[in-house]
Amino acid sequence: MTDTRAPATVSLERLRASLADAGLTLPLEGVTEQREAAAAAVRQIDDYIRPRLADLDAPLLAVVGGSTGSGKSTIVNALLGVATTRVGVIRPTTRQPILVHSPVDAGWFASDRILPGLARVRGRVSAPGTAASAAGDTPEAARISELMLLEHEAVPRSLAIIDAPDIDSVADENRALAAQLLAAADLWLFVTTANRYADAVPWRLLEGAAARSITVGVVLNRVPPGAADEVLPDLQSMLAERGLADAPVFTIEEQRLDELGMLPATAVAGPRDWLEGIAGDRASRARIAARTLGGAITDLDRRVAHIADARQQQLDWLDGAEAAVDAHYQAAIDAVDAATQDGALLRGEVLARWQDFVGTSDVFRKIESWYSRTRDSVTAWISGKPSPVVEVETKIESGLQAVILDQAGRAAAAAWADLERTGPGRGIAEQNPHLAAESPELRAKASAMIREWQGALMQLIHDNAGNKRIRARVLSLGLNVVTVALMIVVFASTGGLTGGELAIAGGSAVLGQKLLETIFGEDAVRRLAAEARLDLQKRLEALFDSEADRLSTALEPLRFGSAPGALRRESQALLDDVARAAVEA
């Protein structure tokens, strides 16, 4: 026979894996709550949803829960007719959860099928005549990480009872364990008192029970004689307002305990009959198991939606941080680009060295004159005299490198300041102090980038020296001379504009322009300048992108985790598969 629950089991495991890796690492507002919600959801899947989905016919688990001093342990002892759990005035009394089951159901609870995070400890029921104050381990000896298993004939078959720690215990670990046990239950026997039935903490849990469609029975304990007519209607009204109108309420009047600290069996006849009636009716058990499972999965879906929202906030913060960094580095690129357009790089020694080389405009009075000028410069180079054109090239390189380093440092400082303004950012900044300034290797990278760009310009000029006349002119002047002339034009113009549109940084830049126009023609120079500038822009972007990527690299581990959309899809798939299995069953 085909197991109709198999697809639901697959969906559940996928969702569990995503919840276990929810990726809620940034300390954003509300994230602690959602991180705990994700952990609680994983625990509930392990403790309850997975085992119950695997076997709806397994024994039901009834958890007896309630506030401090409400008498939970006393009621459990009365239900069994023997002291199995310690009672007393020292709080907390119940620390170690105690699970009491029928001897025939021992196999269901000895394994880690349910509550796998709690180690199993096999205990023995106290001997007849043992006082409730001496039953079980002392609070000091009890281990909250262990589940004490007890067998007793008074427990009906197909039902187990857990005495849970106080839901409002002064001990954090007790409260956490109580919540875990209640989340793992098929049904609750909730104990409160006439004096404390309106307390806020129990009602928050009861509202959670209503959200899970869990079967709840309420024990109103220690009711003063004659007070039931006043208290009971108010309690039932509060239950109805919270979707628990069908929850039976059992009243136990305030009375003296016997010499062993036990209530008489008649005092708990109501809740005992209720539990035995459920346990003895297979259809009723199946109905409760299916309803509680469906309610737990529906409630899980609601919680997953909030967890997915929290995960999306994490990713949005990371995207915002990267966008801010990208904006700072784009501003740096724009600043360097502006410096290469307005002639700023051609001031001072750059123009002086260029003038040394090209002389005055008289050089270009006639085309023939630059041939002789070239021969003189080549002769000077061969004889070992300093080459002004090399100095121009070097000065341009150092000037451009200085602008790049300055703007990279500004961008890094601005991005660092942004991080320091937020809590998550401060944590990232503390772990990555190197992000406060430009990278140490940027100087070498910038120098290499500029040289590569200069080499690309040489190749561009070589590729555009198409006919013999142009090649002869380029060779007569020297490829590096023509390359420097093109750089001069690029750095003294805007967008490769030429002629009357040229924005120059001195008359010497005009000479470079005229030199290139003499060789290639005006239209070709316009195109060459545009291509050279575009190439430089791309190289600058790549260089600054590598600087911006340092923050992306630091943020990358914080992106690890489940995608919000995947969480929602997997939760919906689980709902759909469970609904489909219910129809096919």
Three-class secondary structure assignment of 37-70: HHHHHHHHHHHHHHHHHHCCCCCEEEEEEECCCC
| Most confident of the following: 90-94, 168-172, 577-581 | 577-581
The span from the CA of 493 to the CA of 513, in Å, is 10
* pLDDT of amino acid 516: 79
Q: What is the pTM of this model?
A: 0.82
Give the mean pLDDT of 478-501: 65
Q: In a 3-state reduction of DSSP, which class is residue 273? A: helix
Rounded to whole angstroms, the Cα distance separating 221 from 267 reads 10
> Cα angle vertex 308, ends 303, 309, to 5°?
100
In this structure, what token pair is assigned to residue 579? 């609904």
Closest CA to 221 of 188, 168, 270, 154: 270
Identify the pLDDT of residue 389.
Answer: 58
Residue type, 427: G
295: which 2 tokens?
């309610």
Residues 402-405: contacts with CB within 8 Å, 24+ apart?
A: 403/335, 403/336, 403/339, 403/340, 403/344, 403/345, 404/336, 404/442, 404/446, 404/540, 404/543, 405/438, 405/442, 405/443, 405/446
* pLDDT for res 497: 39
Q: What is the pLDDT of residues 389-438, one digit of tens each?
A: 566 677 778 889 999 999 999 999 999 999 999 999 999 999 999 999 99
The residue ranking higher by pLDDT, 121 or 353, is 121
At 254, the amino acid letter reads E
314 has a pLDDT exceeding 80 = yes
The per-residue pLDDT for range 59-103, each reduced to its tens digit, is 999 999 988 888 898 899 899 888 776 564 434 455 678 899 999
Rounded distance between C-alpha atoms, residue 178 and residue 65, angstroms: 7
Token representation of residue 252: 């136990």
Q: Residues 43, 179: contact at Cβ < 8 Å?
A: no
Number of Cβ atoms within 10 Å of the Cβ of 14: 16
Contacts with 100 (C-beta within 8 Å, 6 or more apart), sequence order: 76, 80, 84, 150, 151, 152, 155, 160, 161, 162, 163
Mean pLDDT score, 193-220: 90
Q: How far is CA 170 from CA 83, 316, 381, in A?
A: 25, 38, 90
Looking at the predicted structure, is the pLDDT value of residue 145 above 70? Answer: yes
CB 62 within 8 A of CB 109: no
Give the span between the Cα atoms of 157 and 101, in whole angstroms: 8
Check whether 583 has a pLDDT greater than 90: no
Distance, in Å, from the CA atom of 222 to the CA atom of 252, rounded to the nearest integer, reads 6
Q: Which residues contact 561 (CB under 8 A, 6 or more apart)?
A: 21, 22, 23, 24, 25, 311, 314
User: In this structure, which amino acid lies at residue 517?
Assistant: E
Give yes or no for residue 386 having a pLDDT over 50. no
**Strand 215-223 to strand 249-253: parallel, antiparallel, or no bridges (unpaired)?**
parallel
Summary mean pLDDT of the chain: 84
Radius of gyration of the chain (CA): 41
Residues 6+ apart with CB under 8 A from 270: 248, 250, 251
What was the pLDDT predicted at 36? Answer: 96
The residues with which 220 forms a beta bridge, in sequence order, are: 192, 251
Report long-range pairs for 372-375 (Cβ below 8 Å, ≥24 apart): 374/476, 374/477, 374/478, 374/481, 375/476
Q: Say if residues 75 and 249 touch (Cβ distance below 8 Å).
A: no
Query: Are the CB atoms for 162 and 185 separated by under 8 Å?
Result: yes
Q: How far apart are CA 111 and CA 103, in angstroms?
A: 15
Sorted by sequence, the CB contacts under 8 Å of residue 395 that are 6+ apart come out as: 349, 350, 353
Q: Which range among 19-23, 144-148, 392-396 shows the weakest confidence by mean pLDDT?
A: 392-396
Q: How many CA atoms lie within 13 A of 33 on its CB side?
A: 7
CB of 98 closer than 8 Å to CB of 84: yes
pLDDT of residue 390: 65
| Of 563, 578, 516, 577, the residue nearest 22 (C-alpha) | 563
Q: What is the pLDDT of residue 350?
A: 56
For residue 254, the model assigns a pLDDT of: 92
What is the rounded CA–CA span in Å between residue 56 and residue 38?
Answer: 25
Q: How far apart are the first and last CA of the chain?
A: 11
Q: Is the pLDDT of residue 458 over 80?
A: yes
Q: Which of 173, 357, 303 has its CA nearest to residue 571?
A: 303
